[in-house]
Amino acid sequence: MSALEPGKQLAAAETWPSLPYEEWKDTYATVHLWTQIVGRVRSTLSPQLNHWWHNALYVTPLGLTTSPIPYGARSFEIQFDFVGHHLTLQTSEGLTRYMALYPRPVADFYRELMAFLGTLGIEVHIPLLPHKPAEPVPYDQDQQHAAYDVEYIDRFRRILVQCDRVFKQFRARYVGKCSPVHFWPGSCDLAVTRFSGRRAQGAAEGDFSDAAYELSSAGFWPGSGSLLKPAFYAYTAPAPAGIERAAIRPGEAHLDPVLGEFILLYDELRNASNPDAALLDFLQSTYEAGANLANWDRSRLEIG
What are the residue ranges spanned by the domains of the chain?
19-141, 161-301
Q: Judging by beta carbons within 10 Å of its beta carbon (0-12, 13-18, 19+), is residue 218 exposed, middle or buried?
A: buried
Residue 276's pLDDT is 97
* 36 contacts: CB under 8 Å, gap ≥ 6: 130, 131, 139, 185, 186
Tell me whether residue 145 is exposed, middle or buried, using C-beta atoms within 10 angstroms of its C-beta: 0 to 12, 13 to 18, 19 or more: buried
CB 58 within 8 A of CB 180: yes
- Global pTM? 0.93
pLDDT value, residue 133: 67
pLDDT for 109-159, tens place per residue?
999 999 999 999 999 999 999 987 667 899 999 999 999 999 999 999 999
Rounded CA gap, 181 and 192, in Å?
5
For residue 278, the number of C-alpha atoms closer than 13 Å in the C-beta half-sphere is 20
SS3 of residue 289 by DSSP: helix
119 burial via Cβ count (<10 Å: 0-12, 13-18, 19+): exposed
Residue-wise burial string across 56-78, b where 16 or more C-beta atoms lie within 10 A, e elsewhere: bbebbebbbbbbebebeeeebeb
When pLDDT is cut at 50, 70 and 90, the band that residue 1 belongs to is very low
Q: How far apart are the first and last CA of the chain?
A: 47
Instruction: For residue 14, name the pLDDT band (cuts at 50, 70, 90).
Output: confident
Of the listed ranges 47-51, 141-145, 262-266, the least confidently predicted one is 47-51
Q: Judge whether residue 9 has pLDDT over 80.
A: no
Helix, strand, coil distribution of the chain in percent, nearest 5: 35, 25, 40
Residue 7: Cβ-neighbour burial (10 angstroms; 0-12, 13-18, 19+): exposed
Nearest to 235 by CA among 251, 208, 211: 211
Note whether 183 and 58 are within 8 A (CB).
Answer: yes
pLDDT at 31 over 60: yes
Residue pair 229/239 in contact (Cβ under 8 Å)? The answer is: no
Residue 205: per-residue pLDDT: 72
Which residues contact residue 256 at a Cβ distance below 8 angstroms, ignoring those fewer than 6 apart? 226, 227, 262, 263
